[in-house]
């Protein structure tokens, strides 16, 4: 099957060019000058399908490097399965997800990983890879780190938050980082001081402050800044590359910037919710509504201007990537577990379908350039997590994961059931996007064509990753 995408503006992390993109089978075969379609040649005769992209952007498919499909958490399980979540990703122009295989307390890492493969195998709409969560640092877990790279998994995550669940103390983190430094693995960190947050949360609940808003008060920015600093220092001591997930506080960004200026391999990821939503407007919504936006790290106060700093950090490369931390829970039967006690609200927001659109909005408002949009959402995730060349770029030999994006289109999200995620609400209710995902191609197959879904469960394959291509 040969496909020719004609007359579009092909955008990469470093520039844009009007070109035709020729796809042969699962791969990009060539970029051609428009009109030079080799008319009359053997090649042109053998093209099966032509997609007219005049006036539109042709970009590498989105890579969402932080999702939690079917994650057991907060006494329930994230509501998107690999099937529903990856289909929603496809609708939104994301053609690869990197999900977190979860090792729970008392479980063996390799068993947990096998269980994660079982969940995802044969049902995904788009390609998928894994990071490994180490939820219990034991001798066995440390040993298991040594096998991960052979499994195509070159990053693992620990938590300085959630005592009694996934929490690791400093001694455990130090040991894991020492081993990761030897192995060349990327250490990913949920950087919030969990023990401090638990005390603050308990005090708030005892004082009768039980609503969703207080989730944000308990998870103070100081707890994020402190843990970020501590993670950076432990990484510095051990020489382990460090990637801090879901950064929301401007003070944590400053910690990352200082370490990066000193030449340390330290990276930061933020999420759309920290660029658009706030403690006051969403977590502070009337009644129990704010539960929709309970996630960790939490939404920050608009009066402290975190969003402004975060957009700036995305421009200056103090923060390198935007992932979603997609971890959806329905209000009914899930979020409502925390009525009367915000500590029992399952933490997480669902956004996997909207990341490309929401970040394109930053192009529309002038916060980032078109090229930076592609870099933040596709090219850097590919380089950061060792799949660049295969993914994250439109060039001969790369997987034909391509999105045709219409800057003159429009996308209304959230009002009513306008999304495809398995949720009974949307965290993005009322967002109007100038732009629209028109066509999504996954390894050469058109899986979204306008408002038609043409893919099927099981199209997506497991992607084995190499070591990070982003280290200095």
DSSP one-letter string for 46-99: T--EEEE-TTSEEEEPEEEEEE-TT-EETTEE-S--HHHHHHHHHHTTEEEEEE
**In this structure, what DSSP letter does residue 338 have?**
G
CA-nearest of 340, 343, 352 to 428 is 352
* Binds ligand URP (CB under 6 A): choice among 328, 338, 348, 381: 348
Does the CA dihedral 389-394-395-399 come out positive or negative?
positive
CB of 125 to Zn ion, least distance (A): 16
Number of Cβ atoms within 10 Å of the Cβ of 451 = 8
Taking the C-alpha atoms of residue 384 and residue 268, their distance in angstroms, rounded to an integer, is 11
Q: Which does 451 bind (CB under 5 to 8 A by kind): Zn ion, ligand URP, none?
A: Zn ion
Whether residue 343 contacts residue 201, with contact meaning beta carbons closer than 8 Å, is answered with yes
CB of residue 161 to ligand URP, shortest distance in Å: 7
Q: How far is the CB of 246 from ligand URP (least distance, A)?
A: 6
For Zn ion, the closer of residues 37 and 270 by Cβ is 270
Total residues interacting with ligand URP, rule: CB under 6 A:
9
- String of contacts with ligand URP for each residue 239-268, x by CB under 6 A: -------x----------------------
Question: Is residue 213 a contact partner of residue 283, using CB atoms and an 8 Å limit?
Answer: yes
335 binds ligand URP (CB under 6 A): no
Tell me how far, at minimum, the Cβ of 389 lies from ligand URP, in Å.
Answer: 28
Answer yes or no whether residue 327 interacts with ligand URP by CB under 6 A: yes
Residue number with CB closer to ligand URP (175 or 190): 190
- Looking only at residues 9 through 68 of this chain, which bind ligand URP when binding is defined by CB under 6 A? 68
- Comparing CA positions, the residue from 395, 430, 383 lying closest to residue 411 is 430
- Paired tokens of 47: 């093209």
The CA–CA distances, whole Å, from 80 to 14, 69, 73, 352 equal 34, 5, 13, 10
Query: By Cβ distance, which residue is nearest to ligand URP?
Result: 347
Q: From the CB of 350, what's the least distance to ligand URP, in Å? A: 10
Nearer to ligand URP, 59 or 295 (CB): 295
252 within 8 A of 304, measured Cβ to Cβ:
no
Contacting ligand URP within 297-326 (CB under 6 A): 325
Residue least distant from Zn ion (Cβ): 190
| Residue 190 engages ligand URP in binding (rule: CB under 6 A) | yes
Restricted to residues 205-224, the positions that interact with ligand URP (CB under 6 A) are none
Nearer to ligand URP, 327 or 403 (CB): 327
Question: Nearer to Zn ion by C-beta: 28 or 133?
Answer: 133
**End-to-end Cα spacing for the chain:** 40
Q: Shortest distance, CB of residue 296 to ligand URP, whole angstroms?
A: 4
Least Cβ distance, residue 407 to ligand URP (angstroms)? 31
Select the binding partner of residue 347 from ligand URP, Zn ion, none (C-beta < 5 to 8 A, by kind). Answer: ligand URP
Contacts with Zn ion, residue ranges (CB under 5 A): 190, 325, 451
Instruction: Tell me the closest approach of the beta carbon of residue 358 to ligand URP, in angstroms.
Output: 17
Cα gap 293→428, rounded to integer Å: 10
What are the residue ranges of helices labelled H in 239-377? 250-261, 272-276, 306-316, 355-364, 370-374
CA distances from 103 to 165, 230, 326 (A): 10, 23, 18
If the CB atoms of residues 27 and 344 are measured against Zn ion, the closer one turns out to be: 344
Q: Cβ 24 to Zn ion, closest distance in Å?
A: 28
356 is a site residue for ligand URP (CB under 6 A): no
Interhelix angle 139-148/170-183, rounded to 10 degrees, is 30
The nearest distance, CB 327 to Zn ion, in angstroms, is 6
Which is nearest to 440 in space by CA: 399, 401, 412? 401
Interaction partner, residue 348 (ligand URP, Zn ion, none; CB < 5-8 Å by kind): ligand URP
| Residue 296 in the binding site for ligand URP (CB under 6 A) | yes
What tokens appear for 7 in the block? 């007359």
Pairing of strands 186-190, 155-159: parallel
Nearest CB to ligand URP, comparing residues 157 and 250: 157
Q: Which residues bind ligand URP (CB under 6 A)?
A: 68, 190, 246, 295-296, 325, 327, 347-348
């Amino acid at each position: 099957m040969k496909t020719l995408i004609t007359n579009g503006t092909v955008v990469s992390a470093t520039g844009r060019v009007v070109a035709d993109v020729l796809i042969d089978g699962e791969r990009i075969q060539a970029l051609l000058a428009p009109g030079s379609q080799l008319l009359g040649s053997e090649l042109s005769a053998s093209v099966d399908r032509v997609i007219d992209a005049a006036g539109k952007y042709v970009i590498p498919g989105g890579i969402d490097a932080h999702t939690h499909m079917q994650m057991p958490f907060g006494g329930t399980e994230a509501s998107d399965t690999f099937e529903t979540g990856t289909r929603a990703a496809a609708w939104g122009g994301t053609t690869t997800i990197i999900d977190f295989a979860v090792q729970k307390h008392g479980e063996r890492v390799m068993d947990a990983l096998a269980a994660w493969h079982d969940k995802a195998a044969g049902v995904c709409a788009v390609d998928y890879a894994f990071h490994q969560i180490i939820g219990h640092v034991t001798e066995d877990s440390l040993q298991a780190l040594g096998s991960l790279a052979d499994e195509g998994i070159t990053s693992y995550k620990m938590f300085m938050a959630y005592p009694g669940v996934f929490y690791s103390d400093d001694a455990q983190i130090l040991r894991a980082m020492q081993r990761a430094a030897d192995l060349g693995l990327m250490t990913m960190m949920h950087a919030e001081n969990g023990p401090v947050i638990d005390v603050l949360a308990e005090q708030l609940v005892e004082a009768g402050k039980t609503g969703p808003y207080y989730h944000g008060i308990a998870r103070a920015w100081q707890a994020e800044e402190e843990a970020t600093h501590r993670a950076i220092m432990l990484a510095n001591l051990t020489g382990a590359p460090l990637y801090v997930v879901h950064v929301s506080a401007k003070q944590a960004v400053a910690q990352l910037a200082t370490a990066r200026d000193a030449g340390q391999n330290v990276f930061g990821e933020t999420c759309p919710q920290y660029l658009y939503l706030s403690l006051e407007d969403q977590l502070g919504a009337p009644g129990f509504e704010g539960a929709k936006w309970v996630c960790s790290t939490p939404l920050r106060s608009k009066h402290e201007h975190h969003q402004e700093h975060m957009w700036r950090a995305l421009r200056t490369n103090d923060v390198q990537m935007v992932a979603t931390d997609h971890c959806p829970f329905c209000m009914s039967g899930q979020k409502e577990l925390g009525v009367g006690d915000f500590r029992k609200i399952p933490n997480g927001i669902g956004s996997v379908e909207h990341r490309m659109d929401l970040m394109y909005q930053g192009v529309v408002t002038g916060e980032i350039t078109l090229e930076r949009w592609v870099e933040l959402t596709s090219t850097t995730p590919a380089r950061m997590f060792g799949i660049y060349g295969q993914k994250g770029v439109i060039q001969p030999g790369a997987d034909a994961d391509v999105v045709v994006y219409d800057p003159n289109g429009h996308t209304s999200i959230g009002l009513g059931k306008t999304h495809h995620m398995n949720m009974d609400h949307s965290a993005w209710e009322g967002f109007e996007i100038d732009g629209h995902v028109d066509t999504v191609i996954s390894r050469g197959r058109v899986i979204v064509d306008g408002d038609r879904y043409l893919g099927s469960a099981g199209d997506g394959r497991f992607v084995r990753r190499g070591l990070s291509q982003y280290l200095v």
